[in-house]
Amino acid sequence: MSDQDSIYLDHAATTPCDPRVVDAMNPYFTEVFGNPSTMYEGGRKAKQALEGARETIANAIGAKPEEIIFTSGGTESDNHAIIGLAEAGKMKGKKHIVTTPIEHHAVLEPAEYLKARGFELTILPVDEHGIVHPEEVKKVLRDDTAVVSIMHSNNEVGTIQPLSEISKVTKEAGVPLHTDAVQSFGSVPVNVDDLGCDLLSISSHKFYGPKGVGALYVRKGTRIRPLIRGGAQERNRRASTENISGIIGLAKAAEIALAEMEVTSARITKLRDRLVNGLFNVLTDIRHNGHPTERLPNNVNICVRGVEGEAMLLFLDMKGISASSGSACSSGSLEPSHVLRAMGIPQEVAHGSLRFTLGKKTTEEQIDKVLAEIPAIVDRLRQMTPYQQPPEHYKMPEWLAAKA
Amino acid sequence: MYSDKVLDHFANPRNVGVIEDADGMGEVGNPTCGDLMKITINVADDKTISDIKFQTLGCGAAIATSSVVTEMAMGLELDDALAITKQQIADELGGLPPEKLHCSVLAADGLADAIKDYRSKG
Ligand code: FES
């Protein structure tokens, strides 16, 4: 299969680097290679580039440059936010952390880590669409709450949280709010003042930048402890010689994403709707997962009755189509998607989950090719199945039926 | 991550279906990930497996191991079929990724269950 024929629909996993990003990075490997902590010319040039990138990222999210910490990616940003806030809070006697069941593991596992070290952990409920309701947040906040972490948009089902409402609640209680905006940035507007968050994580490779670099925004005045120690870089908040080429790539990718977001997202939304509507046309007994309107422009998540996700992925792959699934079999851990489960979807239904995440190179022809290939794949697998999940889980949602 | 033989059995599974009025039927589930398998067999002369079919809801490895176990068992004497291990199934397929070894349990258990069912009807 040539690259031209292959259809990549897993942009929530990662994106290809934009060639303009690679061009911007190139000089920083061999020419401007100095250590930004040094005072001679090579170091100064690197430092200048570093601070320019910081300004770009700050502008992109409505922050000040000194509020940006460069990291090794979304996972580190999330870890830093949760653990750093918890440790700073602990010094003031705080011992409670709050998060949601649909977070990325980069948030959930640090939260569990802290729980094992004496923190109390509250996991908020989400509704059937994966929404966290602000009243629920209000109910659980305490005087000793050190951190609330609620993702901006979900990587599996694309649901976007009412963060500006939630942040009113946390602000009133004086508790710092972190949001994982890894899937959002570059796809929907992300502004720290509009959202009202105190910390925010982004990851470069989700918006056509290089892997291994990201950023953490920390609102001025927020007390946070470092995660990585051993140097005075990033104003003593994150040790390690800066990944200059990566950071330049991150900034360039952010610049491009912002400049093109409106047009690209509008186009992708249309393709997404074409795919969702098409899937309900060509397949019987499927369900749609995620919020009807409050969702990312590029995410389609369905469950297909009577088939298992990994098996579908294998057949799709044989047709050159890359997608993803939340089924237990398709995960290394053999656990079904914790996101689908938290939304009340039974394990056996999550078993047939399938996610397509579109990108800026996705075309109408590609979507139509998927729609042409998938019925035969599902039929084949259904002919093999000894069991059909209960039918009540597979209905066309009203909002979709209304449009059809 | 899958061997060519796994992919072949997955894409072109042998002996798919259900034997009507089968002599024995096995139904097993995989508690690890929620997969299900049904095997039906016919037995000739109270001795050898003369026909065998399967249905599986599961991952690529679950389907491939189900398929290959029907090939391995076809024509075998019952005791020999019962002796087929998950390791033999995996080996027959040119190996399985470590996290997929448990899928071959499903196939071995499904076959054993069908033979037990046949014998219990005596
Ligand atoms: S049967 Fe679920 S992982 Fe293979």
Give tens-digit pLDDT for A79-105.
Answer: 999 999 999 999 999 999 999 999 999
**Residue A245: closest CA among A70, A55, A60, A62:** A70
Residue A2 lies in a domain: no
A357-395 tens-digit pLDDT: 999 999 999 999 999 999 999 999 999 998 878 888 898
Tell me if residue B59 is catalytic: no
Mean pLDDT value of segment A274-302: 97
For residue A121, the cross-strand partners are A97
**Residue A1 clears pLDDT 60, i.e. is over it:** no
Mean pLDDT value of segment A190-218: 98
Kindly report the CATH number assigned to the domain that includes residue A57: 3.40.640.10
**Residue B34 clears pLDDT 80, i.e. is over it:** no
Whether A311 and A245 map to the same domain: the answer is no
SS (H, E, C) chain B: CCCHHHHHHHHCCCCECCCCCCCEEEEEEECCCCEEEEEEEEEECCCEEEEEEEEEECCHHHHHHHHHHHHHHCCCEHHHHHCCCHHHHHHHCCCCCHHHHHHHHHHHHHHHHHHHHHHHHC
| Nearest-atom index, ligand 1, CA of B102 | 4
Whether A217 and A305 map to the same domain: the answer is no
Q: Which of A257, A274, A293 is the last residue of a domain?
A: A257
**Residue A316 clears pLDDT 90, i.e. is over it:** yes
For chain A, what is the domain count?
2
Q: What is the mean pLDDT of chain A?
A: 96
Rounded CA gap, A48 and A55, in Å?
Answer: 11
pLDDT at A403: 64
Whether A267 and A218 map to the same domain: the answer is no
**Residue A34 clears pLDDT 60, i.e. is over it:** yes
Rounded CA gap, B58 and A57, in Å?
Answer: 45
pLDDT at A17: 98
Whether A152 and A61 map to the same domain: the answer is yes
| Tokens encoding A355 | 């996610």
Whether A202 and A306 map to the same domain: the answer is no
Residue A377 lies in a domain: yes
- Nearby residues of A218 by Cβ (< 8 Å), 6 or more positions away: A67, A69, A81, A198, A199, A224, A237
* pLDDT band, very low/low/confident/very high, at B32 (cuts 50, 70, 90): low
Q: Which of A235, A257, A279 is the last residue of a domain?
A: A257
Neighbour tally for A9: CB within 10 Å: 23
Mean pLDDT value of segment A50-72: 98
**For residue A312, with 0-12 CB atoms within 10 Å meaning exposed, 13-18 middle and 19 or more buried, which class applies?**
buried
Tell how far the Cα of B36 is from the centroid of ligand 1, in angstroms: 9
pLDDT at A4: 61
Q: What is the pTM of this model?
A: 0.95
Whether A318 and A340 map to the same domain: the answer is yes
B102: chain A residues, CB-CB within 8 Å = 334
Rounded CA gap, A158 and A187, in Å?
Answer: 11
Whether A250 and A298 map to the same domain: the answer is no
Which residues form ligand 1's pocket by a CB distance below 6 Å?
A: A 329; B 30, 33, 35, 58-59, 61-62, 100, 103
Residue A27 lies in a domain: yes
**Residue B1 clears pLDDT 90, i.e. is over it:** no
> What are all long-range contacts of A320-323, with beta carbons under 8 Å and residues at least 24 apart?
A320/A1, A320/A5, A320/A6, A320/A7, A321/A6, A321/A7, A321/A9, A321/A369, A321/A370, A321/A373, A322/A6, A322/A7, A322/A8, A322/A9, A322/A10, A323/A9, A323/A10, A323/A354, A323/A355, A323/A356
A114-165 tens-digit pLDDT: 999 999 999 999 999 999 999 999 999 999 999 999 999 999 999 999 999 9
- Find the domain containing A232 and state its range: 19-257
- Regarding predicted confidence, which is higher, A248 or B122? A248
Q: Which of A257, A284, A317 is the last residue of a domain?
A: A257
pLDDT at A330: 86
Whether A161 and A62 map to the same domain: the answer is yes
Tell how far the Cα of B35 is from the centroid of ligand 1, in angstroms: 6
- Give percent above pLDDT 70 in chain A: 99
Residue A1 lies in a domain: no
Whether A203 and A62 map to the same domain: the answer is yes
Buried b (16+ CB within 10 A) or exposed e, A230-239: eeebbeebbe
Rounded CA gap, A20 and A11, in Å?
Answer: 18
B48-61 tens-digit pLDDT: 999 999 999 999 99
pLDDT at A121: 98
Neighbour tally for A393: CB within 10 Å: 17
Spans of all domains in chain B = 4-120
Q: Nearest CA of chain A to the CA of B70: how many Å?
A: 14
**Residue B113 clears pLDDT 90, i.e. is over it:** yes
Rounded CA gap, B61 and B58, in Å?
Answer: 8
Give the number of C-alpha atoms closer than 13 A to the C-alpha of residue A35, restricted to the C-beta side.
8
Q: Read off the amino acid at residue A307.
A: V
Residue A247 lies in a domain: yes
The reply to whether B27 touches chain A by the CB within 8 Å rule is: yes
Q: Read off the amino acid at residue A188.
A: V
B60: chain A residues, CB-CB within 8 Å = 310-311, 314
Neighbour tally for B21: CB within 10 Å: 6
| Nearest-atom index, ligand 1, CA of B30 | 1
Tell how far the Cα of B100 is from the centroid of ligand 1, in angstroms: 6
**Residue B42 clears pLDDT 80, i.e. is over it:** yes
| CB A378, CB A304: distance < 8 Å | yes
Whether A144 and A71 map to the same domain: the answer is yes
Mean pLDDT value of segment A38-57: 96
- Nearby residues of A286 by Cβ (< 8 Å), 6 or more positions away: A279, A280, A302, A303, A304, A305, A394
The reply to whether B64 touches chain A by the CB within 8 Å rule is: no
pLDDT at A392: 86
pLDDT at A333: 80
pLDDT at A2: 53
pLDDT at A214: 98
**Residue A147: closest CA among A164, A181, A122:** A122
**Residue A158: closest CA among A313, A266, A298:** A298
Whether A241 and A284 map to the same domain: the answer is no
Whether A249 and A269 map to the same domain: the answer is no
B61-105 tens-digit pLDDT: 999 999 999 999 999 999 999 999 999 999 999 999 998 988 889
A206-254 tens-digit pLDDT: 999 999 999 999 999 999 999 999 999 999 999 999 999 999 999 999 9
Neighbour tally for A240: CB within 10 Å: 14
pLDDT at A328: 87
- Nearby residues of A282 by Cβ (< 8 Å), 6 or more positions away: A371, A374, A375
**Residue A3 clears pLDDT 90, i.e. is over it:** no
Cα dist from A322 to A4, A123, A319, B102, whole Å: 13, 33, 9, 25
Architecture of domain B4-120: Alpha-Beta Complex (3.90)
pLDDT at A397: 85
Q: Nearest CA of chain A to the CA of B11: how many Å?
A: 8
